[in-house]
Amino acid sequence: MKNKVIIGFFLCFIGGIGLMHFITKDVDFSERENRMLTQMPQFSFKNFVSGDFTKDFEEYVTDQFVWKGFWTGMKANAETLTLKKENNGVFLGNDGYLLERFERPEEQLQRNIDSLKYFSNKAKNSKAYFLLVPTSVEVYPDKLPLYAELYSQREIITSTDNQLNQSMPLINVTEKLMRKKDEPIYFRTDHHWTMRGAYYAYREVAKAMGFIPYEIDDFNIEEVSADFYGTFYTKANAPRYKPDKIEVFKPRFEVKYDVEYVDEGKSTTALYEPNFLSKRDQYSYFLNGNHSLVKISSTIKNGRKLAVIKDSYAHALIPFLVNHFEEVHVMDLRYYHMNPYKYLADHQINDVLFLYNVANFSKDTNLIWLKQ
């Protein structure tokens, strides 16, 4: 009798979860995970036979599972009690740091290096530079749990530099960031660097590109948030970790901007969007988040134009660069699929900066758009 009661309770529980899944409306975007969620795949006989439908349906159920946040939180709390030091690829580090595992890259890294070499050979009228930024796990190995194993990001940076072979100078900021590691140069709960970390990289970019950077005292540093929980916090479900603060560097010198979000057809005079500070994705405070194409004009009249082809690490650094160029054009190849060479020629852009973090550059499939 006891076993029947347990079996009956289990069947009711599973059935109830299944019923709730089908009567609950699907969610398009997860504020908690800061990403679009998989929607119900379209069935076809061809997709079913190939196995694509089954794979897509599994992803759909995983993303749309009812009360997903509650169940993942329960899992994380149970793992914390068992002293587990990693969850969903994120190490539960020391001193409040969450750090993402970095594994040996696969073939995509080589494809991306080849795409950069292709760009360098084709964009004859542009001088291109590559800022390849290590993520926090490379700078803070001392914060990792005991026996955590990682692949060296320094090795990736060195290998990439050797392969580019000065056809596109690589700006290596690893040692600079290591020297500043006692300052808050990376968020503890997010995969991005802070604006302070971007400032130190900006000084190295200035050295490589031949302009004089501003000193840190040329900016007012304001704290705009003290309750930022980033992507690592979400992935690891680590409730005992404290939130990050967000700093912004605002010029003390006179300069004005016109920021045009080309994909949305709207303009503003601000490099920051305060509305995001009340949302989950507070990092989108910088440059209003991800866009395919952004054009920033400044009151700096020196005739210099720069194109930045990037991932989201660029958002905290571009506010420094716009103080040295008359125009800065920002392209995100995840969304911008037009011919970049025609764009550079049409807008008479001679300087190009590629800016990626090592983890993203190692696996991003969108640099293929450079081979047009």
pLDDT at residue 31 above 80? no
Classify residue 96: in a domain, yes or no.
no
- Whole-model pTM: value is 0.81
Say if residue 108 is in the same domain as residue 62: no
Say if residue 183 is in the same domain as residue 241: yes
pLDDT at residue 70 above 60? no
DSSP string, 151-164: --HHHHHHHHHHHH
pLDDT at residue 124 above 50? yes
Domain boundary, last residue among 20, 45, 66: 66
Per the listing, tokens 């050797």 go with: 162
Say if residue 62 is in the same domain as residue 146: no
DSSP state of 136: H
Say if residue 59 is in the same domain as residue 108: no
Domain boundary, last residue among 66, 87, 121: 66
Which candidate, 170, 172, 200, places its Cα nearest to that of 185?
200
Say if residue 6 is in the same domain as residue 130: no
Domain boundary, last residue among 66, 96, 114: 66
Say if residue 31 is in the same domain as residue 148: no
What pLDDT, on a 0 to 100 scale, did the predictor assign at position 43?
Answer: 78
Mean pLDDT of 188-194: 98
What pLDDT, on a 0 to 100 scale, did the predictor assign at position 82?
Answer: 45
pLDDT at residue 311 above 90? yes
Classify residue 245: in a domain, yes or no.
yes
φ and ψ at residue 131, rounded to 5 degrees: -100, 105
Distance of CA 71 to the CA centre of its chain: 26
Measured CA to CA in angstroms, residue 336 lies from 17, 64, 292, 367 at distances of 40, 28, 5, 10
Say if residue 137 is in the same domain as residue 187: yes
Say if residue 251 is in the same domain as residue 201: yes
Q: Coil, strand or helix: which one is 297?
A: strand
At 63, the pLDDT band (50, 70, 90 cuts) reads low
What are the beta bridge partners of residue 258? 297
Say if residue 33 is in the same domain as residue 109: no
More confident residue, 43 or 184: 184
Domain hosting residue 60, numbered range: 2-66
pLDDT at residue 213 above 90? yes
Classify residue 7: in a domain, yes or no.
yes
Say if residue 221 is in the same domain as residue 357: yes
What pLDDT, on a 0 to 100 scale, did the predictor assign at position 367?
Answer: 97
Say if residue 40 is in the same domain as residue 179: no
Say if residue 45 is in the same domain as residue 186: no
More confident residue, 33 or 203: 203
Separation CA 264–CA 16 (nearest Å): 43
**Which of 32-41, 214-223, 325-334, 351-360 has the lowest average pLDDT?**
32-41
pLDDT at residue 100 above 90? yes
Mean pLDDT of the chain: 88
Classify residue 322: in a domain, yes or no.
yes
What b/e string do you get for 149-164 counting C-beta neighbours within 10 Å, with b at 16 or more?
A: ebeebeebbeebbeeb
| Number of domains comprising the chain | 2
Classify residue 82: in a domain, yes or no.
no
pLDDT at residue 259 above 70? yes
